[in-house]
Amino acid sequence: MNTTELQKVKQRYNIVGNCDGLNRAIDVALQVAPTDLSVLIIGESGVGKEIIPRIIHDNSPRRREKYFAINCGSIPEGTIDSELFGHEKGSFTGAIGESEGYFGVANKGTIFLDEVGELPMATQARLLRVLETGEYIRVGGQKIMKTDVRIVAATNVNMRKAISEGRFREDLYYRLNTIPIQIPPLRDRGEDILLLFRLFAMQMAEKYHLPKITLSDEAKSTMLKYKWPGNVRQLKNITEQMSVLSREREISGEAIHKFIPEDTESTQLATLNTTGSHSYESEREILYKILYELRGNVSDLRREMNNLRKQLDTAHNATVTPAGTNLPSIIAEQPAPIPPTPRTSPTVQDAVAEEISEPESLNLEDIGRQMVEKALDRNGGNRKKAAQELGISDRTLYRRIKQYGLDK
Q: What is the domain-level CATH number for residue 402?
A: 1.10.10.60
In a domain, 196, yes or no: yes
Q: Are residues 191 and 180 in the same domain?
A: no
**Residue 342 vs residue 400, higher pLDDT:** 400
Name the band, by pLDDT with cuts 50, 70 and 90, for residue 325.
Answer: very low
Are 69 and 112 spatial neighbours (Cβ–Cβ below 8 Å)? yes
Q: Return contacts of 238-246, CB within 8 angstroms, 24+ apart.
A: 239/197, 239/200, 239/201, 239/204, 239/213, 240/200, 240/204, 242/201, 242/213, 243/201, 243/204, 243/205, 243/208, 243/210, 243/213, 244/204, 244/208, 244/210, 246/213
Q: Are residues 140 and 222 in the same domain?
A: no
Rounded to an integer, the average pLDDT of 32-37 is 95
Indicate the residue among 184, 215, 241 that finishes a domain.
184
Q: Are residues 128 and 73 in the same domain?
A: yes
pLDDT at 211 over 70: yes
CA distance 237 to 245: 12
pLDDT of residue 217: 95
In a domain, 323, yes or no: no
Percentage above 90 pLDDT, the chain: 57
In a domain, 330, yes or no: no
Rounded to an integer, the average pLDDT of 238-253 is 92
Name the band, by pLDDT with cuts 50, 70 and 90, for residue 318.
Answer: low
Name the band, by pLDDT with cuts 50, 70 and 90, for residue 371.
Answer: confident
CA distance 255 to 249: 11
- Put simply, whether the predicted model's pTM sits higher than 0.85 gets the answer no
Name the band, by pLDDT with cuts 50, 70 and 90, for residue 191.
Answer: very high
pLDDT of residue 381: 83
Indicate the residue among 139, 158, 184 that finishes a domain.
184
Angle subtended at Cα 388 by Cα 382 and Cα 393, rounded to the nearest 5 degrees? 100
Q: Are residues 197 and 163 in the same domain?
A: no
Name the band, by pLDDT with cuts 50, 70 and 90, for residue 347.
Answer: very low
> What CATH number corresponds to the domain at position 52?
3.40.50.300
pLDDT of residue 399: 82
In a domain, 378, yes or no: yes
Residue 71 forms beta bridges with which residues?
114
Q: Are residues 175 and 220 in the same domain?
A: no
Q: Quote the domain boundaries for residue 202.
A: 187-258
Name the band, by pLDDT with cuts 50, 70 and 90, for residue 363.
Answer: low
In a domain, 315, yes or no: no
Q: Are residues 113 and 203 in the same domain?
A: no
Name the band, by pLDDT with cuts 50, 70 and 90, for residue 288.
Answer: low
pLDDT at 360 over 50: no
pLDDT at 289 over 80: no
pLDDT of residue 237: 95
Domain count, the chain: 3
Q: Are residues 175 and 198 in the same domain?
A: no
Rounded to an integer, the average pLDDT of 283-292 is 64
pLDDT at 93 over 80: yes
Indicate the residue among 135, 153, 184 that finishes a domain.
184
pLDDT at 329 over 80: no
pLDDT at 91 over 90: no
pLDDT of residue 315: 75
Q: Are residues 143 and 238 in the same domain?
A: no
Buried b (16+ CB within 10 A) or exposed e, 222-259: bbeebbbbbbbebbbebbbebbeebeeeebeeebbeeb
Percentage above 70 pLDDT, the chain: 80
pLDDT at 336 over 80: no
pLDDT of residue 369: 82
pLDDT of residue 292: 60
26-40, 211-225, 230-244, 352-366: least confidently modelled range: 352-366
Q: Are residues 156 and 192 in the same domain?
A: no
In a domain, 341, yes or no: no
* Cβ partners under 8 Å of residue 192, min gap 6: 16, 17, 18, 19, 22, 186
In a domain, 292, yes or no: no
Average pLDDT, the chain: 83
Name the band, by pLDDT with cuts 50, 70 and 90, for residue 384.
Answer: confident
Q: Are residues 179 and 193 in the same domain?
A: no
Which 8-state DSSP code applies to residue 199?
Answer: H
278-292, 323-337, 363-377: least confidently modelled range: 323-337
Per residue in 118-172, pLDDT (tens digit) is: 999 999 999 999 999 999 999 999 999 999 999 999 999 999 999 999 999 999 9
pLDDT at 305 over 70: yes
Whole-number Cα distances in Å, 281 to 98, 269, 285, 290, 376: 39, 15, 7, 15, 50
270 Cα distance to chain centroid: 11
Q: Are residues 164 and 225 in the same domain?
A: no
Rounded to an integer, the average pLDDT of 321-344 is 46
Name the band, by pLDDT with cuts 50, 70 and 90, for residue 338.
Answer: low
pLDDT at 84 over 50: yes
Amino acid (1-letter code) at residue 196: L
In a domain, 266, yes or no: no
Kind and range of the H or E run holding 249? none
pLDDT at 267 over 60: no
Q: Which phi and psi (to 5°) does residue 270 adopt?
A: -60, 140
pLDDT at 203 over 80: yes
Q: Are residues 53 and 142 in the same domain?
A: yes
CA distance 138 to 397: 58
Residue 103 CB burial class (10 angstroms; 0-12, 13-18, ≥19)? buried
